[in-house]
Amino acid sequence: MSAPLPRVRFAPSPTGYLHIGGARTALFNWLYARRARAEGKGTFVLRIEDTDRERSTEASVQAIFEGMKWMGLDWDEGPLVGGPHEPYFQTQRLATYEKHAERLIAAKKAYRCDCKKADLDVLREQAQKEKRGFKYPGICREKNLPKGTPGAIIRFRMPDEGETTFDDLVKGPITTSHKEMQDEVIVRADGVPLYNFGAVVDDLEMGITMVARGDDHVVNTPRQILMYQALDYPVPVFAHLPMILGADKQRLSKRHGAVSVLQYRDDGYLPGALVNYLARLGWSHGDQEIFSLAELIEKFDWKAVGATAGVFNPDKLLWLNQQWIKATPLPELAKLVRPYLVTRSALIGPTRTFDYASLTDARIVEVLPQALERSKTLIEMADLLLMFLCSGVAFDEASAKKHLTADAKPLLVAARDLFEQKMADGPHALEAAFRDLATAQSLGLGKIAQPVRVAVTGSTVSPPLFDTIVLLGKAEAMKRLDAAIARIG
RNA sequence: GGCCCCAUCGUCUAGCGGCCUAGGACGGAAGCCUCUCACGCUUCAAACAUGGGUUCGAAUCCCGUUGGGGUCACCA
């Protein structure tokens, strides 16, 4: 047996958006495939498991594509890109499942069953009442019901004795007794397969060599292994990723805030930061916290994936996002922040105007350095940038009330002169002039700087004052100062 | 409840029998820097769930207990 070329897959069911947990599963698979590719050949397959026709939606399919694309998780085979195992939607592969199901029936490893679901539900409830485990009693095992039997489903015949063991890549050896398994339904009456069968058939048809998925599938694994064996195909390697929990240690859900990957995009996170965070949730490489995508691909290793469930920590993601912002080249950041400039500019208020049409990337790059260390998200960054990019000020009332007073008016007038004389000489010259002014008035620099800051930026909190003023340019800075002076009256 | 999995600071984790008076990161506290904010820097508080073994030696290996999670569908 030669080692097969690594082929992995991500197989979401389109019953909702791409959430954090699914995204991490996709990421780990993708990372593994990309590293394998660097060493020769590795393939990442995307397959849509839409066999739950009740809950699957086209909108979810699109949301999954969009989420993966945003994160940069491109697939080598699957919807949109095609591949040698098309189609990649399970509901379009019914003939394939039928083929394999018939093989199982012919080999007496599966059988048709026309038991009514309602009847079985009654038995199940009864068993539950008596606190017994319930297993399908095998009523139709020997009936040999023919194809075409009305309402018949297909059940897989589980062995009565023995046990199945597999060596999970992250959890180690796991053994399950066959007594725990029942003859489960693998194909519905309408020919649509159920999860355990559809996934197995597709994974073997598509030559998947490693199945990496969520923790909640460990109990399914032995049953699936039995199916691989019944179908006479080699069993892939399995890796089960621990769950991602919310702060209350419960499974992550909408209650815990944003769980859709696209929500993080909308909230101003860089895809690289989310990827970085997700990679470190459950996997580690010594003490390193920040990884570029290239480093992740190079260093990712299943051996370093932990077996413990992890709590999603929004604070750490936020910190990481800022680290990524600071590490992103300015021109790239300018392009990234643009869309947020558009959405946030709707909120600038009546006292400011924003001319997006004439906004150049060069201008964004020029003011960007001031925002780097003050923005944890692209939203915060856009808001801060708008202070530079808009014409006019929006005063923070508390700040204005405190600093734009009659006492401050002479200082603002004096500041106006300094603007006139020194601005062209740069922030340092301007600062020196203000320091001289403060000394002459026997005041601390802060006493003058704060009113001027409020006048120019609208708030007591801003980037360094003199840099800000110079960046604004003489015309705009004067305009704002005059507005503040006028406001005092 | 049956079966399965898991167990180091509040959180993510390093640790794979001696290097551990248990390291890093987020968050928290204090301080420094300073025109405000932020960044940065320094320092501090903070963990091996518990009881037995094995061993010269255990956070590391084994068993029990406790706790947490998963799963018991014609969902995936």
For residue range A124-177, list pLDDT tens digits in order: 988 888 888 889 999 999 999 999 999 999 999 999 999 999 999 999 999 999
Q: Count of CB atoms within 10 A of residue A288's CB?
A: 10
* pLDDT tens, position by position, A16-68: 999 999 999 999 999 999 998 877 789 999 999 999 999 999 999 999 999 99
Q: How far apart are the first and last CA of chain A?
A: 88
User: Does strand B come within 7 Å of the CB of A310?
Assistant: yes
Hey, which residues does A211 pair with through a beta bridge?
A: A238
User: Does strand B come within 7 Å of the CB of A120?
Assistant: yes
Closest-approach nucleotide to residue A153, Cα vs C1': B74
Hey, which residues does A167 pair with through a beta bridge?
A: A173
Q: How many Å from the CA of A347 to C1' of B13?
A: 41
Hey, which residues does A239 pair with through a beta bridge?
A: A212
Residue A254 annotated in active site: yes
Q: Which amino acid is at A239?
A: A
CA distances from A158 to A109, A255, A295, A346 (A): 8, 39, 45, 62
> What pLDDT, on a 0 to 100 scale, did the predictor assign at position A129?
83
**Cβ proximity of A365 and A336 under 8 Å:** no
**What's A256's DSSP letter?**
G
**pTM passes above 0.90:** yes
Q: How many Å from the CA of A165 to C1' of B62?
A: 21
- Cα-atom radius of gyration of chain A, to the nearest Å? 31
> What pLDDT, on a 0 to 100 scale, did the predictor assign at position A4?
61
- Element (H or E) spanning A333, and its range? helix A330-344
Measure the CA–CA gap between A246 and A284, rounded to whole angstroms.
Answer: 20
**Cβ proximity of A328 and A65 under 8 Å:** no
Closest-approach nucleotide to residue A240, Cα vs C1': B5
Q: Which residue's C-alpha is at the least distance from the C1' of B68?
A: A249
> What pLDDT, on a 0 to 100 scale, did the predictor assign at position A128?
84
- A264 pLDDT band, cuts 50/70/90, is very high
Q: Which residue's C-alpha is at the least distance from the C1' of B23?
A: A287
Nucleotides of B under 7 A from a protein CB: 1-8, 10-15, 23-27, 35-39, 68-76
Please give residues of chain A from 222 to 241 whose alpha-adjacent beta carbon (CB) lies under 7 Å from any atom of strand B. Answer: none
Q: Which amino acid is at A29?
A: N
**Cβ proximity of A445 and A434 under 8 Å:** yes
Q: Which amino acid is at A416?
A: R
Closest-approach nucleotide to residue A249, Cα vs C1': B68
* Residues contacting residue A107 through CB under 8 Å, at least 6 positions apart: A230
What b/e readout covers A303-328, taking b as 16+ CB neighbours within 10 angstroms?
eebeeeebebeeeebbebbbbbbeeb
User: Does strand B come within 7 Å of the CB of A276?
Assistant: no
CA distances from A346 to A266, A270, A353 (A): 15, 22, 10
User: Does strand B come within 7 Å of the CB of A289?
Assistant: yes
Closest CA to A252 of A288, A219, A278, A218: A278
- Token pair, residue A260, equals 């859709």
User: Does strand B come within 7 Å of the CB of A479?
Assistant: no
User: Does strand B come within 7 Å of the CB of A134?
Assistant: yes
Helix (H/G/I), strand (E/B), else coil: A114: coil
Which listed residue (A41, A99, A108, A254) is catalytic? Answer: A254
* pLDDT tens, position by position, A73-93: 999 999 999 999 999 999 999
Q: Which amino acid is at A274?
A: L
**Cβ proximity of A334 and A365 under 8 Å:** yes
User: Does strand B come within 7 Å of the CB of A117?
Assistant: yes
ipTM over 0.85: yes
HSE-up of A153 (CA within 13 Å, CB side)? 17
**Cβ proximity of A481 and A415 under 8 Å:** yes
Measure the CA–CA gap between A341 and A349, rounded to whole angstroms.
Answer: 14
State yes or no: pLDDT of A109 exceeds 70: yes
Helix (H/G/I), strand (E/B), else coil: A153: strand
User: Does strand B come within 7 Å of the CB of A133?
Assistant: yes
* pLDDT tens, position by position, A295-316: 999 999 999 999 999 999 999 9
Closest-approach nucleotide to residue A446, Cα vs C1': B35
Q: How many Å from the CA of A283 to C1' of B18?
A: 27
Measure the CA–CA gap between A369 and A2, rounded to whole angstroms.
Answer: 54
User: Does strand B come within 7 Å of the CB of A463?
Assistant: yes
Q: Count of CB atoms within 10 A of residue A301's CB?
A: 12
Measure the CA–CA gap between A397 and A395, rounded to whole angstroms.
Answer: 6
Phi, psi torsion values for A445, nearest 5 degrees: -60, -35
User: Does strand B come within 7 Å of the CB of A183?
Assistant: no
> What pLDDT, on a 0 to 100 scale, did the predictor assign at position A131?
80
User: Does strand B come within 7 Å of the CB of A453?
Assistant: yes
Q: Is the four-CA dihedral A440, A441, A442, A445 of positive or negative sign?
A: negative
- Residue entry with tokens 């093989």: A103
Lowest mean pLDDT among A22-26, A117-121, A361-365: A117-121
Closest CA to A68 of A255, A230, A203, A265: A265
User: Does strand B come within 7 Å of the CB of A461?
Assistant: yes
Measure the CA–CA gap between A302 and A167, rounded to whole angstroms.
Answer: 13
What is the edge-to-edge ordering of all strands in the sheet holding A153-156?
A: A110-113, A153-156, A185-187
Q: How many Å from the CA of A135 to C1' of B12?
A: 41
HSE-up of A306 (CA within 13 Å, CB side)? 14
Measure the CA–CA gap between A237 and A251, rounded to whole angstroms.
Answer: 26
Closest-approach nucleotide to residue A284, Cα vs C1': B13
Q: How many Å from the CA of A251 to C1' of B70?
A: 10
State yes or no: pLDDT of A1 exceeds 60: no
